Amino acid sequence: MGLALSSAWGQQQTTPRYAQRGLGKFVYQTLNDTSSAASSRVLVFPAAGFSPETSLEIGLRVFSLYYAKGDTAVNRLSELVLYGFVTLRGQFGAQLENAIYSDKNTYYLLGRARYQQFPLLYFGIGPNTKPDNPALVNSHYFQTRQRVLRKVIENWYIGPEIDFQSLQRIEFERVDPNAFDIPLGGRGSTTLELGVAIVYDDRKNVLNVRKGAFFETAALRNVRLNNDFQFQRLLFDARFFRPLGRYNRVLGIQAIGTFMEGDVPFNNLALLGGESAMRGYYLGRYRDKNLLAAQAELRWLPFNFSKRWGGTVFGGVGTVAPTLSSLQLNQFRWAVGGGIRFLFFQKKDVYLRADLGFTREGTGLYFSLGEAF
C-alpha cells in the first residue's frame, strides 16, 4: 500500500502540472507514449490544411496500429488510417487506408477507399499541359481499391484486386473555355476494374521501413457497367530499403509505372504528383495513360544528436505519355525536398512527418503519420 502510494506520488511529481488533466493530459500522454510494441494503439487528433480550391480545411485523423495477436516477433505491423474533413465552403470528404496482416502474415489486405465532394483541378491530359488556368471540376467522387492477398511462399503473395471508381454530378468551371475540350468521362463515369496482383513484401514495419523490399505487379481490366469505357491496365511498384552504415540512416528507392490501353475516363488515368511520389506537384498535375516515375530518399531516423527528432532529403523524376513508345526524356519532371520527423510511437518506431517538396512550378507541404513510401 505504502509502495503504491509512493509510486503514484512520484509519478505525479514528475508530470508537469499542465499535463495532469484535460487536453494537456491527452497531449502529454500522446507525445510521451511508451506503451509496449505488442499493445494496440488508437490515436485521434485534429488536422487542418488550406488550398485555393477548398479554402480552410479542418478534420480528424484516426490511426489504429497493432500486431495480430500481439505477436511482434512473427507478425507485421498493421495499420488503419481514417481521415475525414470539411471546408469553409461546405465541401467534405473521407478516406480510409489499410495495410492489414493476419496472424503469421498468412493474409494481407491492402488498399484504400475514399469519398469526396470537393473540386479537383484539371490541367488537361499529357506531359505538356500548362500550369495556368486549370479547370475546377466540382463532383461527387468515390473510389475503392483493394487487394486480398494470400501468402503462397515466404514473403510472396497473390490474390484478386479490385478498383471501383464513380465520378458523378460533374461541373467543369473553365477560366478559358478554349483551353481544352471536356475529356472522356467528363459527363460522369462508373468503372469496375478486376484483376490479379502478385506481391513480394518482406517489410516488418510498413510505416517506417529500415530494411527490406516491396514489389507489386498487377493486371486489371474494366468490366463494362452500361458505358463505353473499355480499357486495361498494367502496373508495377518496386521499393528497396537499406541502412547506410548506421541503423538510423536509411536509403529508400522507389520506381513505379502504369501502362493503359483503351478508352479511359480522365479520372482513371495515371496521375503524377501528390504526397507519396513527386512531392511538390499537385496530384493529377500531369495525367495520361502511361506513367513512369522514380524517387530516392535519405532518412535519418533519428538524428545522431536526438532520440526523437529526425529528417529526410528526397528527390524524384517522372513523366506521363499517351503511349509507351512516346515517352521522352526531355518530358521528365523533377521534384526535390526535405522533411522533419518526430518519433510519435516510441516502441513501434513510427514517426510523424512534415515534408516540403519543390518543383519548377512551386511547392507542396505535407503532414502525415509514417513515411511517404
pLDDT at 16: 74
pLDDT digits (tens, 9 = 90+) for 49-78: 766 566 678 999 898 999 999 999 999 999
Q: In the structure grid, which three cell numbers stand for residue 95, read together?
A: 478516406
pTM of the complete model = 0.86
What structural domains and CATH numbers belong to the chain? 45-369 (2.40.160.50)
C-alpha cell at 63: 490511426
Distances (CA, A) of 93 to 45, 54, 79, 271, 365: 17, 11, 20, 19, 19
Each residue of 318-371: pLDDT tens digit?
A: 999 999 999 999 999 999 999 999 998 888 899 999 999 999 999 999 988 899
Dihedral angle over CA of 345, 95, 116, 278, nearest 10: 60
- Radius of gyration, CA atoms only, the chain: 22
Instruction: Give per-residue pLDDT as tens, 72-99.
Output: 999 999 999 999 999 887 889 999 999 9
pLDDT value for 14: 66
